[in-house]
């Protein structure tokens, strides 16, 4: 268990560090593309300089983000080799497509965007800027297809001969890439990136205004950033709704943990904070029915009947069926007798959907850290609403030319930059900690997915990565701050 815990801590640290760069990449991509579009349409050099400045900050963030993503993918092989073996065919496909198609597209057009000023036509350069952002977005899609499958494993079947979860047809691959959990996670993650990018541009612009510098640039950039952030905020609320419905359908324990719901029922209330509840709101969010049934932690442990009348077995029953599946698998692979093999295969097929439960020691193992998920969920919502309010006020004050009287709002916009990152991290805590103990929901718990490593090796690499990541982050922040202090008029990207 020491190896499991340290491997999870190391992977969590790497994923959290990588996610510091992804949302800003997605958000700045839209901001800089909008600004360059204004330059091409209006033929105004101001928008060219504005786009060049934000492209420069995008490039700094993009470069560090690539390095962290590579390390993250390597850890699947080093720390989670059993997981990689079990899902290699399925999991490798979207990641390969991401690398070959999306990342190649993103990197190619990034080079044209960054170095191509005055070397290609305005329209071709504009297309390159948009395609860089589109490539980054497509890249996120394929990664989230892989992650969405871990949350809701569809389109694959277990092959007892290879002991792997495999896609058997093109139709199965289509089911994987259109997985509703993956689609909603993709939309939620991308639009949350727009919020991060929007508040970043708004906060940096606010800093210029507080310093009395580049006022025209700051005001116009703030308006673009605030509008992009508000668009993202609206989309995040819509995609968050679909995420809640999918959690209720495919991962009810995650929803119960996020709500701290011990005993469910119909017309379930939503807890804002302990002691303050909104009647029937949880049922509305989870089922779009004010009287819909939402299972609590105890219901999931003991078994329940869902809204469609399906009887969901207790965790103890699932564990028993899972152990039958594992025993049948052992017989199937250990005998050459055709009749015994066929009989074992029949038992395995009857119970294979609960095979992962056979590795659990007790029913309570399916309960994630409720306190962590509960408060991360509320921090995510609370910070998200605060950032949206600040963006709205900034857009209004720029539009009405009232920023000169609102220094408090400018300071709030700057403070919201780190808050937006905390919000994004909380979202991933809900998504990933909320599905524990599973690496693949219902199929493979973390204690089985681990590599055969010593705890000492994992601890050593954890602290090495921690030191390297801290150094990279410090360097990136320093370069970013220096670029911001120079401002858009000091240094041009033009060759």
* Same domain (yes/no): 294, 220: no
pLDDT tens-digit profile of 58-88?
A: 999 988 877 777 788 788 888 888 898 888 7
Show which of 302, 326, 359 is a domain's final residue.
Answer: 359
| Residue 77 lies inside a defined structural domain of this protein | yes
Residue that has been written with the tokens 């299972």 in this structure: 295
Cα Rg of the chain, angstroms = 25
d(CA 419, CA 379): 10
* Same domain (yes/no): 84, 183: yes
Q: What is the pLDDT of residue 489?
A: 61
* Same domain (yes/no): 330, 245: no
pLDDT tens-digit profile of 131-179?
A: 999 999 999 999 999 999 999 999 889 999 999 998 878 888 899 999 9
Structure token digits, residue 62: 């993009």
* Same domain (yes/no): 190, 333: no
Residue that has been written with the tokens 């033929």 in this structure: 43
Contact 13, 462 (CB under 8 A): yes
Residue 158's SS3 state is strand
Show which of 336, 359, 382 is a domain's final residue.
Answer: 359
Show which of 309, 331, 359 is a domain's final residue.
Answer: 359
| Residue 493 lies inside a defined structural domain of this protein | no
Structure token digits, residue 162: 């290879």
Residue 311's SS3 state is strand
Q: What is the pLDDT of residue 495?
A: 34
Concatenated DSSP letters of 21-39:
THHHHHHHHHHHHHHHHHH
* Same domain (yes/no): 9, 143: yes
Per-residue pLDDT of the chain (495 residues; tens, 9 = 90+): 688 999 999 999 999 998 999 999 999 999 999 999 999 999 999 999 999 999 999 999 988 877 777 788 788 888 888 898 888 777 788 888 887 877 788 888 998 999 988 889 999 999 999 999 999 999 999 999 999 999 999 988 999 999 999 887 888 889 999 999 999 999 999 999 999 999 999 999 999 999 998 899 999 999 999 999 999 999 999 999 999 999 999 999 999 999 999 999 999 999 999 989 999 999 999 999 999 999 999 999 999 999 888 999 999 999 999 999 999 999 999 988 999 999 999 999 999 999 999 999 999 999 999 999 999 999 999 999 999 999 999 999 999 888 878 899 999 999 999 999 999 999 999 999 999 999 999 999 999 998 888 888 889 989 998 999 999 899 989 999 999 999 886 444 333
* Same domain (yes/no): 135, 240: yes
Q: What is the pLDDT of residue 62?
A: 87
User: Which letter does DSSP use for residue 214 in this model?
Assistant: S
| Residue 366 lies inside a defined structural domain of this protein | no
Residue 171's SS3 state is helix
Q: Does the bond joining 62 to the residue before it have cis omega, within 30 degrees of 0? A: no
User: Which letter does DSSP use for residue 445 in this model?
Assistant: E
* Same domain (yes/no): 418, 379: yes
* Same domain (yes/no): 175, 282: no
| Residue 367 lies inside a defined structural domain of this protein | no
* Same domain (yes/no): 328, 378: no
* Same domain (yes/no): 212, 283: no
In 19-121, which ranges are continuous DSSP H helix? Answer: 22-42, 45-78, 81-97, 104-115
pLDDT tens-digit profile of 168-209?
A: 788 888 999 999 999 999 999 999 999 999 999 999 999 999
Residue-range definition of the domain harbouring residue 285: 267-359
Q: How many CA atoms lie within 13 Å of 323's alpha carbon, on the beta-carbon side?
A: 8
CA dihedral 401, 407, 411, 414 (to 10 degrees): 30
d(CA 451, CA 98): 25
| Residue 259 lies inside a defined structural domain of this protein | no
* Same domain (yes/no): 420, 480: yes
383-418 core/surface letters (b: 16 or more CB in 10 A; e: else): bbebbbebbebbbebbeeeebeebeebbebbbebbe
463-483 core/surface letters (b: 16 or more CB in 10 A; e: else): eebeeebeebeeebeebbeeb
Residues 6+ apart with CB under 8 A from 197: 23, 24, 26, 27, 28, 29, 30, 31, 225, 228, 229, 232
State how many domains the chain has: 2
Contact 395, 223 (CB under 8 A): yes
* Same domain (yes/no): 314, 442: no
Residue 494's SS3 state is coil
| Residue 476 lies inside a defined structural domain of this protein | yes
């Amino acid at each position: 268990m020491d190896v499991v815990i340290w491997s999870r801590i190391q992977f969590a640290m790497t994923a959290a560090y990588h996610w510091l760069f992804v949302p800003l990449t997605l958000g700045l991509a839209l901001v800089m593309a909008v600004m360059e579009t204004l330059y091409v349409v209006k033929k105004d050099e101001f928008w060219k300089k504005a786009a060049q400045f934000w492209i420069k900050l995008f490039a700094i963030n993009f470069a560090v983000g690539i390095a962290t993503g590579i390390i993250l993918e390597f850890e699947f092989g080093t720390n989670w080799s059993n997981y990689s073996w079990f899902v290699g065919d399925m999991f490798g496909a979207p990641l390969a497509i991401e690398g070959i198609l999306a990342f190649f597209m993103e990197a190619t057009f990034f080079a044209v965007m960054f170095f191509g000023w005055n070397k290609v036509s305005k329209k071709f350069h504009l297309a390159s800027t948009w395609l860089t952002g589109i490539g980054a977005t497509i890249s996120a899609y394929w990664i989230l297809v892989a992650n969405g499958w871990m949350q809701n494993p569809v389109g694959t079947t277990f092959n007892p001969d290879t002991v792997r979860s495999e896609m058997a047809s093109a139709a199965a691959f289509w089911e994987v890439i259109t997985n509703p959990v993956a689609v909603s996670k993709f939309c939620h993650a991308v639009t949350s990136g727009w919020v991060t990018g929007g508040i970043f541009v708004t906060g940096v612009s606010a800093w210029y205004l507080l310093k009395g510098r580049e006022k025209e640039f700051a005001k116009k950039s703030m308006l673009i950033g605030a509008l992009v952030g508000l668009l993202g905020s609206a989309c995040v609320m819509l995609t968050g709704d679909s995420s809640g419905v999918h959690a209720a359908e495919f991962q009810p324990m995650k929803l119960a943990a996020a709500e701290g719901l011990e005993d469910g029922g119909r017309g379930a209330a939503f807890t804002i904070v302990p002691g303050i509840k909104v009647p029937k709101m949880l049922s509305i969010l989870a089922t779009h029915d004010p009287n819909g049934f939402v299972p609590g932690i105890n219901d999931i442990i003991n078994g329940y009947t869902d809204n469609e009348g399906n009887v969901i077995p207790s965790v103890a029953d699932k564990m028993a069926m899972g152990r039958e599946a594992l025993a049948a698998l052992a017989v199937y692979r250990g005998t050459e007798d055709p009749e015994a093999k066929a009989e074992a295969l029949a038992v395995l097929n009857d119970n294979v959907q609960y095979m992962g439960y056979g590795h659990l020691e007790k029913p309570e193992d399916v309960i994630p850290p409720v306190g962590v998920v509960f408060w991360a969920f509320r921090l995510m919502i609370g910070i998200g609403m605060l950032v949206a309010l600040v963006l709205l006020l900034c857009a209004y004050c720029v539009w009405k030319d009232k920023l000169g009287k609102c220094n408090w709002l400018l300071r709030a916009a700057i403070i919201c930059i780190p808050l937006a990152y905390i919000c994004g991290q909380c979202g991933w805590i809900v998504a990933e900690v909320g599905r524990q103990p599973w690496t693949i929901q219902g199929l493979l718990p973390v204690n089985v997915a681990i590599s055969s490593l010593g705890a000492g090796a994992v601890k050593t690499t954890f602290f090495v990565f921690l030191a390297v990541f801290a150094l990279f982050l410090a360097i990136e922040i320093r370069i970013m701050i220096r670029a911001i202090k120079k401002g858009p008029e000091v240094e041009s990207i033009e060759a």
